[in-house]
Amino acid sequence: MRSNRSVWQFLAALLTGGRIEIFDENIAMDGTRWLETASSRSVTILETVPSLLRVMLDTEAHAPVENLKWLLLTGEALPPPLCREWLQRYEGVRLLNAYGPTECSDDVTHYEIAEAPAEELARMPIGAGVANTQLYVVDRFQQLAPAGVFGELVVGGDGVGRGYLNDAGRTAEVFIPDGYGARPGARLYRTGDIVRWLDGAVLEYIRRVDHQVKVRGNRIELGEIEAALSKHPAVRDNVVETRTDEDGSRFVVAYVVLDDEVTSDLNELRGYLKEQLPDYMVPSVFMPLARLPLTANGKIDRRALPAPSREALVRVREYVAPRDEVEAEVAQIWSEVLGIEKAGVTDDFFELGGHSLLATQVVSRIRKSFEIEVPLRMLFEQTTIATLSTAIAQMQRDEEERADAELLAQLEQFSEAQVQTMLTEMSIS
């Protein structure tokens, strides 16, 4: 149920006489080409998620923004440092922090950011309600919470959906009668997001009320991953959490207690989950534990779970060192992007904790190192250093052959005497 992500983009353009530019995946997920393409197509309003913006700022220092007026950030919490970095680099392009649950037709709040936020600001506000939308912050008894007090955000108005198809129970749980407005039959949507009103009548997002999280713009139920893992015969116990990289990127970690009597490995668990869940829900890191930490009353102590590093990934494959210059360069790029000591040529990028946003960094560095135009999809198709290096070497040979063919075509325009003269001059110089 993701259709709301395109409602305003299509309708606003039609209503204002504008046009819509839809970037393909190779551009939309590529920090190097993203702004360049927007500039070449005279885009004035651009929308993306904060995690992709982070990649763009890390990989492209001087991308042009000749016509861009607004950059809309949505899908994830917007870190204040990211705002400061953008506005420092592109002072004339304002940011708009947009918030909108899938269960509503589009964004329900907007917050304009024209100046760099203060250093002490911990969270960017998500703003006030858009037209024809009512926002309420309520406690667990569905009573309105005073300003400054944490509560669940409840949305009313024209954009609230009608419910979940063929799921009356879930619909009744979160789509409730509007007890605050005067319109007969109106309903509210319980977002499950904890917020509070700030001075100036704007909202601040705090966290989810349950274990549902957003990772790289995708909504993920951690309990659903735990349930899928529990069905594997080798998993005796497990808990799934999210962690944050040094660069602020969020990733999913599965802590698993394996049954000693059942033979299995972490790659098998990863493959099993890929058959059960969408790719974006498969954890980036699997950490085996002897037992899960518990609190004094016997509940899982999530705070005591060890923080994983990229080195915490258990190497199931035997390490194979790079065998030529291309593999050595690619291995060095992988190590730097993934934050690991060394990568073997048979290691799988995604099994080492890679994901789509890190893939864009790898592709960007490969382009600079080898001076070839590598499509993003190549890393998804050639997921090991060995296969990726083979593809890069072939592209280099193809480029050399193309250059030789162009040279021969140019030489054919000259007489034999002229060619001999040019070759002689080249050997002398």
3-60 pLDDT, tens digit per residue, is 455 777 788 888 888 898 888 877 877 766 888 888 889 999 998 888 778 777 776 5
250: nearest Cα among 356, 340, 116: 356
What is the per-residue pLDDT for 3? Answer: 46
Read off the pLDDT of each residue in 72-84 and give the average, rounded to a whole number.
Answer: 87
Asked if 233 and 259 touch (Cβ cutoff 8 Å), the reply is yes
Domain 213-312, CATH homologous superfamily name and number: ANL, C-terminal domain (3.30.300.30)
Predicted confidence (pLDDT) per residue in 302-361, tens digit: 888 888 765 554 444 567 889 999 999 999 999 888 877 788 888 888 777 777 778 888
Asked if 34 and 54 touch (Cβ cutoff 8 Å), the reply is no
357, burial (CB in 10 Å: exposed 0-12, middle 13-18, buried 19+): buried
Question: CATH number of the domain at 3-210, please?
Answer: 3.40.50.12780
**8-state DSSP, 307:** P
pLDDT at 413 over 80: no
Predicted confidence (pLDDT) per residue in 141-169, tens digit: 889 999 999 999 999 999 999 999 999 99
Predicted confidence (pLDDT) per residue in 256-312, tens digit: 988 776 666 777 888 899 888 888 888 888 888 888 887 665 567 888 888 876 555
Residue labelled with tokens 């407005």:
181
Domain assignments of the chain as residue spans, ordered by start: 3-210, 213-312, 325-411
Residue 81 has phi, psi (to 5 degrees) of -60, -35
What are the residues whose beta carbons fall under 8 Å from the beta carbon of 161, sequence distance 6 or more? 103, 104, 105, 175, 189
Q: Using CA atoms, how far apart are residues 168 and 364, in angstroms rounded to an integer?
A: 47
What is the value of pTM for the model shown? 0.67
Asked if 191 and 152 touch (Cβ cutoff 8 Å), the reply is yes
Question: CATH number of the domain at 325-411, please?
Answer: 1.10.1200.10
